[in-house]
Amino acid sequence: MTAPALADRAEERAALTAMVRDFTRKHITPVVEDLDATERFPEEIYEAMGRLGLFGITIPEDHGGAGGQTADYVAVMEELAYGYASIADQCGLVELVTSLISLHGSNEQVTSYIPGLVSGQMRCSYALTEASAGSDLGGLKTNARRDGSDWILNGEKIYIHNAPVADVAMVLAVTDPTKGKRGGMSMFLVDVEQPGVERAYREKKMGQKASPVGGFIFTDVRLPASAMLGDEGTGFGAVLSVLEKGRLGIGALANGISRAALDTAREHALERRQFGQPIAGFQAVAFQLADMATEHRAARLLLEDAAAQLDQAKSAGPACSMAKLYASEAAIRNTGRAVQILGGAGYIRGVPAERLYRDARITTIYEGTSEVQRLIISRSLIA
């Protein structure tokens, strides 16, 4: 089965999940420690994912996507991240950028970008964050001013996934400084290989080492009017339109890390013998495994529930925030438990538990920090 055959029936989702699990076992797991050590972009896996139809899962088929539901996307993200979070990162990025183009783009943008992105021929970035604008995009300084029918883009983005390798970047910029986030910001599709665009640097990160992250510097980049996504002033609204899907994607990614942590800890606990017995026989260890399995399951159910709400109602802010908050914090707890169960081995490079611990850490920060998720949830309770 390939992703274009997706539908909302449970058996078909189970078949999709099984296909991605098989892909992960054959193509990701064997190279994950090498990718972590070398930090190279996983080119061959990226292209294979495109061939298999694992990009653009929720994009309508007539826009070149797989026509699936958010629940399919969530299932795929967990399976890919079980193999390696940096691979799931790529699936998530393409999902967000193609969703934005599909929802708000012109026919020309749909046909120019979506086929290349979902087939794995093209790489993208989603560039919002700046030195003065993290959790609060109100601090955005990157701006575009009109010059005839063109726009001239200036500014600097930081911490951007794929900035070192992208072909195209979706860039949020201020187009009317007299207006606020709503009305004053616009989104642009920027071909990265053009005069005035500089890839600033590549960050050295704690984890998810095969996800290249860096900055863009835009200096008088001339953009045609056709580079704008949607209408002038709709950029912040576009960000909001994919926020919930993005949060579920990262929640599912975190939950894949959680499950990998459980499996590696369980395997070790059954094999490792101390005091004449497998350490799994000590209740202190076995109960940690019980907590890990419970937290993974709880996160899965929150994610599935939020995805179902999003698929039905198109908006499910608090449910998506709860799922992202819980799954990401559970991933940090579970990878910590895995390191503890592995003992000294859990602290050694090349041992999966050590990598999972590092890979999990960012999941409570990007795509909205835990504090931001708690703000959204609490506002829904007391508004």
Ligand X SMILES: Cc1cc2nc3c(=O)[nH]c(=O)nc-3n(C[C@H](O)[C@H](O)[C@H](O)COP(=O)(O)OP(=O)(O)OC[C@H]3O[C@@H](n4cnc5c(N)ncnc54)[C@H](O)[C@@H]3O)c2cc1C
Among 213, 302, 331, 351, binds ligand X (CB under 6 A): 213
**Binding of ligand X by 369 (CB under 6 A):** yes
Three-state DSSP class for residue 234 = coil
Q: Which range, of 28-36, 56-64, 186-194, 369-377, touches ligand X by CB under 6 A?
A: 369-377
**Binding of ligand X by 100 (CB under 6 A):** no
**Binding of ligand X by 240 (CB under 6 A):** no
* The residue type at 331: A
Closer by beta carbon to ligand X, 29 or else 369: 369
Three-state DSSP class for residue 9 = coil
- Which residues are known catalytic residues? 367
Q: Cβ distance 8 to 16 under 8 Å?
A: no
**Binding of ligand X by 19 (CB under 6 A):** no
Closest CA to 331 of 292, 374, 368: 292
| Residue, CB closest to ligand X | 134
Q: Give the tokens for residue 301.
A: 């159910």
**Binding of ligand X by 358 (CB under 6 A):** no
Q: Cβ distance 257 to 361 under 8 Å?
A: no
Query: What's the min distance (Å) between Cβ of 115 and ligand X?
Result: 22
Q: Which range, of 43-51, 244-252, 294-302, 371-379, touches ligand X by CB under 6 A?
A: 371-379
Binding mask 78-97 for ligand X (x = CB under 6 A): --------------------
Residues 122-161 that bind ligand X (CB under 6 A): 126-129, 134-135, 159-161
Query: What's the min distance (Å) between Cβ of 7 and ligand X?
Result: 31
∠ CA 236-238-241, rounded to 5°? 115
Q: Which residue has the tokens 């046909």?
A: 111
**Binding of ligand X by 115 (CB under 6 A):** no
Query: What's the min distance (Å) between Cβ of 278 and ligand X?
Result: 37
The four Cα atoms 14, 19, 21, 23 give a dihedral, to 10 degrees, of -170
Q: Give the tokens for residue 142.
A: 């990157």
Q: Give the tokens for residue 356.
A: 């999972």
Half-sphere exposure of 316 (CA within 13 A, CB side): 23
**Binding of ligand X by 217 (CB under 6 A):** no
Q: Cβ distance 84 to 32 under 8 Å?
A: yes
Closer by beta carbon to ligand X, 217 or else 365: 365
Q: CB atoms < 10 A from the CB of 292, how many?
A: 24
Query: What's the min distance (Å) between Cβ of 205 and ligand X?
Result: 6
**Binding of ligand X by 312 (CB under 6 A):** no
Q: Which residues bind ligand X (CB under 6 A)?
A: 126-129, 134-135, 159-161, 205, 213, 362, 365-366, 369, 371-372, 375
